[in-house]
Amino acid sequence: MASERFLTLTDVAEILNVSTSQATALVRSGDLLGIQIGGRNQWRVERSKLEEYIEAGYQRTAELVAQQQESGARSS
């Protein structure tokens, strides 16, 4: 799996430590970019897109923490 360009949703779920249905929901909502292969609801996620999604998650978390710290400082 380490050198494959595309990951199955099962692989994505394992990497993110979520269920396969949660990984499917991420792709269907557009939060995580993926491509549909064939007509049988098979999805693949490019490894680089998964890394971008994870990085964006870190960024969102950092922004949230900064906002909470700012509001906490104003409350004091």
Does 30 map to a domain? yes
Judged by DSSP in three states, 34 sits in coil
At 74 the pLDDT is 72
Which of the 8 DSSP states describes residue 57? H
Average pLDDT, the chain: 92
Band of pLDDT at residue 76, cut at 50, 70 and 90: low
Q: Range of 66's domain? A: 6-75
pLDDT of residue 7: 98
> What's the total number of domains in the chain?
1
pLDDT tens digit string along 20-45?
Answer: 999 999 999 999 999 999 888 899 99
In a domain, 1, yes or no: no
Asked, for residue 21, whether it belongs to a domain, the answer is yes
DSSP E strands, the chain: 6-8, 35-37, 42-46
* CA distance linking residue 32 with residue 26, whole number of Å: 5
Task: Look at residue 72 in the predicted model and tell me its pLDDT.
Answer: 76
